[in-house]
Chain A
Amino acid sequence: MTALNEDLILPRVQSMLRERFALSEAQVEATHALTELGVDSLAVIEFMFDLETEFDISLSQERADIHTIGDIAALVRATLDKTTTQK
């Protein structure tokens, strides 16, 4: 995913969330909080693992506050940026 357009990150995250947690399109708005969607904290960690695979990044050293789906996309974007800079 080296040439990933920034605008594609959020839709991809939303699509992965829908698939994994059987959520509707309306439920995965960027402003929605995962906890309000009934997603368990351990399931969020599993989801982060999937994100690592999908975007070829490492999130294990990241300690960002993640509340909303938009936060996840932002974290992925920031980590990708960092990775690109380091490369």
Chain B
Amino acid sequence: MRRVALTGAGVISPVGTGKSNFFQQISAGISGIRRLQHPDAQRLGLQLAGQIQDFDPSQHFSKERLSTLDRFSQFALVAAHEAWQQAAYPSRFDHSRGGVFVGTGMGGASTLEAGYDALFRQQQNRVRPMSVIATMPNAAAANIGIEFSLRGPCYTYAVACASSSVAIGEAARAIAYGDLDVALAGGAEAMLCLGVLKGWEALMTLAIEDKQAPEQSCKPFAANRCGFVLGEGAGMLVLEDLELAQSRGATILAELVGYGVSNDAVHLSRPEPAGQAAAMRAALKQSQLRGIHLEDIGYINAHGTATKAGDASEVAAICDVFGAHRTALAISSTKAVHGHLMGAAGAIEFIATVLALQAQTLPPTAHLTERDPAFDLDFVPLHARPAPQLRAVMSNSFAFGGANAVLVAAHPDA
């Protein structure tokens, strides 16, 4: 089995475009949750979102290209460019040894909704010609493949909130097995459209607005937590065969040492601590092969959706897996500030985790003024914290449907 290096990362998120901005904001606990800009916002119960409001697509794409690109593909391409640029991958390579692995929950949701709007609300009898091409869930992956001439597998994973963790994990697996030398992997989501927002509203998992501080409405692990706020964006990583990366002199951000998955197989939405624990154990078992043990994990970027049941389940699962080591662990949920990016959540949170490892700094759980008294863990409340000995980190993603995916990264010198 080959080892897998992370050599590039790119982010476009509600708390900033570019990984430096992103990490700076989440470390400062500055929220990207704002008043939703949408013509039908007043029809929504929760009129807040982690919306990217300063994004001008025409700065990145020609008018012709834009007609083929849903917002989720635009985000994916922007993040992929940043990651690829950082990796400084050589322009000449065996393109058949390069792959694309993208996770998304709903693909081109806004294009689909625009089509429905034209047909049903505006009573038009036609939709835009690029509706199919822009909406298809694999559009982001396909566009990345074309953009970077990656001619190996080009896959899209729809595993709800775990989509992009699975995408990254499967890319790592393909490299570890020797099927590929390089991959662009991550996730993208852009589903802040009325139909989707109404769907989430009906499911009663969205936060109730904090009237005093709306930007603080999502409060993971807090006693008064009441759900999440939807977000949009993308995170992409460049994964490479570690030896090849070293031989070309690439800067290695971290090594991806563990990927574990499980399926609860009990309920469509209720989280299950046993399934979540199984995924963490599977990731840790793989990490051991690289000499990273349970005690080496210093930080977990939690799934931490701030729902009553979700946070309780995750805390129970972490305590079960880590036992006595739980007291030495730091855990935070950055969803408090960037919202829940669904199919892109795993990717941007894993990038947050890797950046924390690089910076030896733990991003906080923002807005956590009063911890749930039932949770006896260190959630890095409110303020970032230096972690000079941080050797290995974990990122959790738990999906509706019951699928769980966990990624573990180690410091390149670990």
Contact = CB atoms under 8 A, between A and B. Distances in A.
B223 interface: no
A7 interface: no
Interface stretch (A9-17, A44-52, A65-73): A44-52
Contacts of B128: 46, 49
B126 A42 contact: no
Nearest to A48: B129
Contacts of A45: 129-130
Interface range on chain A (Cβ under 8 Å from partner): 10 to 19
B126 A60 contact: yes
Interface string B115-134: 00000000001101110010
B413 interface: no
A46 B126 contact: no
Interface range on chain B (Cβ under 8 Å from partner): under 10
Interface in A39-62: 40, 42-43, 45-46, 48-49, 52, 58, 60
B269 interface: no
Nearest to B64: A43
Contacts of B129: 42, 45-46, 48-49
Nearest to A40: B64
A86 B126 CA distance: 20
B165 interface: no
A45 B64 CA distance: 11
Contact of B130 (A21, A42, A52, A58): A42
Contact of B133 (A21, A42, A58, A60): A42
B68 interface: yes
Interface of A: 21, 40, 42-43, 45-46, 48-49, 52, 58, 60
Interface of B: 64, 67-68, 125-126, 128-130, 133
4 A-B pairs with least C-beta separation: A45-B129, A49-B129, A46-B67, A43-B64
